[in-house]
Chain A
Amino acid sequence: MNCSEFQNMSHELVRDRVEGRDRIEALAHAGECPRCAEYLDKERGLSLKLGFLSQALHSQEAPVRLESVLLTAFREHAAHTDGNGSVPLHAGPRFWARQKFWGWAGTAAALAAVIALAIGIHSRRRSQNEVPTASVTAPATQIQESAPAALAPRGEQGQGQQQPRIEAVQHRRNLTPHVRRIGDEGTTVAENSGFVPLIYCDEMNCGSPGEVVRVEIPASSLPMMGLVSDTRTGPVRADVVVGEDGIARAIRLVDY
């Protein structure tokens, strides 16, 4: 053992942390080398002084109030995280990368939902501003409304037969926001059927639900549909119930 090795080891030697052959060699070196023996003595003296200091500081500890502060913080944290025991203690970088990914994915999904909601609200407002009437030449602005119960010949259909059809149409009504504005007129088939069955309507094809299309038709064509005729000329607004087969079932004049 040389002096450098001895001095590197002297700290542990003083604290009795060197055992076996190393200890024997170190002590033998100290016996042969006066300089290292002196160094060992100094090291022992320093160790003793540091021991006094360590002893003096040994009873030092954090103030008691700190524990209560930390306990409060712990309880608050535990309450917020709901005792998050799902995080494994050995969670590695992959775990946290996955957590981060799903965090971002969740944020993106929430953002997409907000955008979709905003678009939905916007489109609904736009549709509310649209004119509900449509000319015959523009069937694209068809508006659904409950009506077909009126198509059944009165007196022939019982109450029990009408009810399911009304429900079916009301279900549709929920799906189409256009219906509601028309519905503001307070016209459900059951409540106020101003509809007049068209002449070719029979029991076979008037029972199925249909859609109400608001159209403008010439007043001169009203007698053809079995409606009263007066002296009015020009276009007349009317609601026409169109069946699923595309055939008109009934008609109701609007503002007539």
Chain B
Amino acid sequence: MEGVTVTAQAKMSPIHLTDQDLLRRMLAGDEEAFTTLYGRWQRSIYRFALQMSGSVAVAEDVTQEVFMALIRQSQDYDPARGPVAAYLFGIARNLVRRSVKNETAYVTMGDDPQVEENPTSELLINRDGPLEEFRRNETVATVWQAVQSLPAHYREVVVLCDLNELRYSDAASILGCSLGTVRSRLHRAHALLLDKLTRKKNDYPAEAGGAERCLA
């Protein structure tokens, strides 16, 4: 019976396999399993690194290192400690922390974004009119800066739960903390974000008013 299952699984396309099965195949030297696993998780890992670091270069390096670690040290993965995704995010998290450790800690709201390249700048698709597009771009840029200015442990939960829409339990597994800690950090992170965004919004009318006066 087990043999039948194994045979059926062996014939199954890698796309339909679970991450663990793919990892098992990968360990046996199956290149297709590796590419499938890479295709499944590279976006999330890249985005996580980008959203955490604010740097495209760091995001690329981290993504590469995460999958290099998967190639070289995947035998270290312990299924009892969480899913493969949590293992990958865990590596990415450590790498991001290491890479940004020596760099400027946080971006302050009043300053120019300290990212080498604004990853949100060229991504907004013009589905609405120019004004709507402008507003959305501005909102995205503001929220991006606000997220980047959060302390790392709050930024992590926002990136994982809000931007990548992971479940709390998965986030807890990645961060190595309890579900309650994820909830409380998220609550606190949102409070900080609201505060930052409100302050930014309150600054805006003064600038707008100045502009009106000039125009008048």
Contact = CB atoms under 8 A, between A and B. Distances in A.
Given A52-B143, A53-B163, A89-B24, A71 B35 contact: yes
A87 B27 contact: yes
Interface string B23-60: 11011110100110010001101110011000000011
Given A7-B187, A85-B28, 20 more contacts: A8-B183, A8-B184, A43-B190, A46-B190, A46-B194, A49-B143, A52-B143, A56-B120, A56-B123, A56-B140, A57-B51, A61-B47, A62-B45, A70-B34, A70-B71, A73-B71, A83-B29, A87-B27, A87-B75, A89-B79
Interface string A79-106: 0011111010111100000000000000
Contacts of A69: 64
B51 to A, nearest CB: 7
28 contacts: A12-B168, A43-B190, A46-B194, A46-B197, A49-B197, A50-B158, A50-B162, A50-B163, A53-B143, A53-B144, A53-B147, A54-B164, A56-B120, A56-B123, A56-B124, A57-B120, A66-B42, A70-B64, A74-B31, A75-B31, A77-B71, A81-B29, A83-B29, A85-B27, A85-B28, A85-B29, A90-B79, A91-B75
Contacts of B43: 60-62
B72 interface: yes
A73 B194 CA distance: 44
Contacts, number: 123
Nearest to A7: B187
Nearest to A54: B163
Contacts of B112: none
A151 to B, nearest CB: 66
Q: Is the interface of A mostly helix, strand, loop or mixed?
A: helix
Given A46-B197, A70-B71, A71-B31, A62 B136 contact: no
B13 to A, nearest CB: 19
Contact of B27 (A12, A53, A63, A84): A84
